[in-house]
Structure 1
Amino acid sequence: MTSPSPALAYRLEAARAVVHDAARLAMSMRPPPGGPQAALKSAQDWLTETDGAVEAFIAQRMQALFPDDGFMGEEGGTTRSGSLRWVVDPIDGTSNYARGRCRWCVSLGLMDGDEPVAGVIDAPALGEVYTALRGHGAFLNGRPIQASSVADPTRAMIEMGWSGRVPKPVFMDKMDAIMELGAMPRSGGCGALALADVASGRLDGYIEIVINLWDVAAALPLLMEAGARVSPFLRDGGLTGGATILAANPHIADQLAQAVAIPLE
Structure 2
Amino acid sequence: MTSAQPSSLDIDARYACARSLALEAARMGLDFYRQRDALTVEHKGDDLQDVVSIADKQIEAFIRERLTEHFPDDGFLGEESGSADLGARCVWVIDPIDGTACFVNGLHNWCVSIGLLIDGEPHLGAIADPNHDELFHGCLGKGAFVNDVPLKVSAATHVGQGVTATGTFHPRGKEHFIPFMEKLLAEGGMFFRNGSGALMTAYVAAGRLLGYYETELKSWDCMAGLVLVKEAGGRVNDFFRNDGLLRGNPYLVACPGVYPQLAAMIGPSLDD
TM-score class, shorter-chain normalisation, is over 0.9
Q: Is the 8 A contact 2:210 2:258 kept in 1?
A: yes
Contact 2:158 2:261 in 1 (8 A): no
Query: Does the aligned pair in 2 maintain the 1:137–1:225 contact within 8 Å?
Result: yes
Helix, strand or coil at the partner of 1:131? strand
C-alpha distance in 1 between matches for 2:104 and 2:207: 27
Distance 2:265 2:36 in 1: 38
State the 1:38 CA deviation. Answer: 2.3
**Among 68, 74, 77, which residue is 1:72 paired with?**
77
Out of 24, 27, 32, the position equivalent to 2:27 is: 24
Superposition map of 1:66-105 within 5 A = 66-81=71-86, 82-105=88-111
Contact 1:38–1:48 at 8 Å: present in 2 too? yes
Which 5+ residue runs of structure 1 have no aligned equivalent? Answer: none
1:129 aligns with 2:135: yes
Comparing 37-46 with 208-217, greater Cα deviation is found at 37-46
Mapped to 2, the partners of 1:191 and 1:73 lie a distance apart of 15
- Indicate if the aligned counterparts of 2:173 and 2:215 stay in contact, CA closer than 8 A: no
Once residues 37 and 147 of structure 1 are traced to their aligned partners in structure 2, the CA distance between those partners, rounded to angstroms, is 39
The CA deviation string for residues 73-110 of structure 1, in whole angstroms up to 9 with x for no partner, is 00111033421011100000111111122110000000
Of 241, 244, 255, 1:238 maps to 244
* 2:192 matched residue in structure 1: 186
Match of 1:55 in 2: 60
- After alignment, is 254-263 or 150-159 more displaced? 254-263
**Contact 1:72 1:78 (8 Å CA) reproduced:** yes
Structure 1 distance, partners of 2:98, 2:208, is 18
**For residue 76 of structure 1, what is the amino acid of its counterpart?**
S
SS, match of residue 21 in structure 1: helix
- Cα deviation code 1:220-245 (max 9, x no counterpart): 11011001111111124312312011
Question: How far apart are 1:114 and its partner, in Å?
Answer: 1.2
Aligned length: 261
Change (3 A) 1:66 1:179: same
* 3-state SS in 2 of match to 1:103: coil
- Cα offset, 1:5, TM superposition: 7.3
1:131-185 Cα deviation digits (max 9, x unpaired): 1100110000111011001113222211112211246532211111211221101
CA shift in 2, pair 1:181/1:32, >3 Å? farther
- TM-score after normalising by structure 1: 0.92
Relative distance call for 1:93 and 1:11 in structure 2 (3 A) is same
Q: Could you tell me how far 1:21 is from its partner in structure 2?
A: 1.1
C-alpha separation between the residues in 2 aligned to 1:33 and 1:149? 40
Distance apart, 1:261 and its partner CA: 1.2
Task: List alignment gaps of at least 5 residues for structure 2.
Answer: 1-6
Structure-2 separation of matches of 1:89 and 1:255: 30
Distance, in Å, in 2 between the alignment partners of 1:37 and 1:164 is 23
Change (3 A) 1:260 1:143: same
**SS state at 1:148 partner:** coil
What SS does the corresponding residue of 1:217 show, helix, strand or coil?
helix
Q: After TM superposition, list the pairs within 5 Å mapping 1:84-233 onto structure 2.
A: 84-166=90-172, 168-233=174-239
Q: Pick which of 153-162 and 223-232 moved more.
A: 153-162
Conserved 8 A contact 2:138-2:231? yes
Output the TM-score relative to the length of structure 2.
0.90
**Cα RMSD (Å):** 2.0
Residue 91 of structure 1 aligns to a residue in which SS? strand
The 8 Å contact of residues 162 and 171 in structure 1, kept in 2 or not, is answered as yes
Instruction: Output one character per residue of 1:188-209: Cα deviation in whole Å (capped at 9) or x when no partner.
Output: 1110000000000000010011
Contact 2:113-2:224 within 8 A present in 1 as well: yes
Secondary structure of 1:176's counterpart equals helix
Amino acid at match of 2:54: E
Secondary structure of the residue aligned to 1:116 is: strand
Equivalent AA in structure 1 for residue 58 of structure 2: A
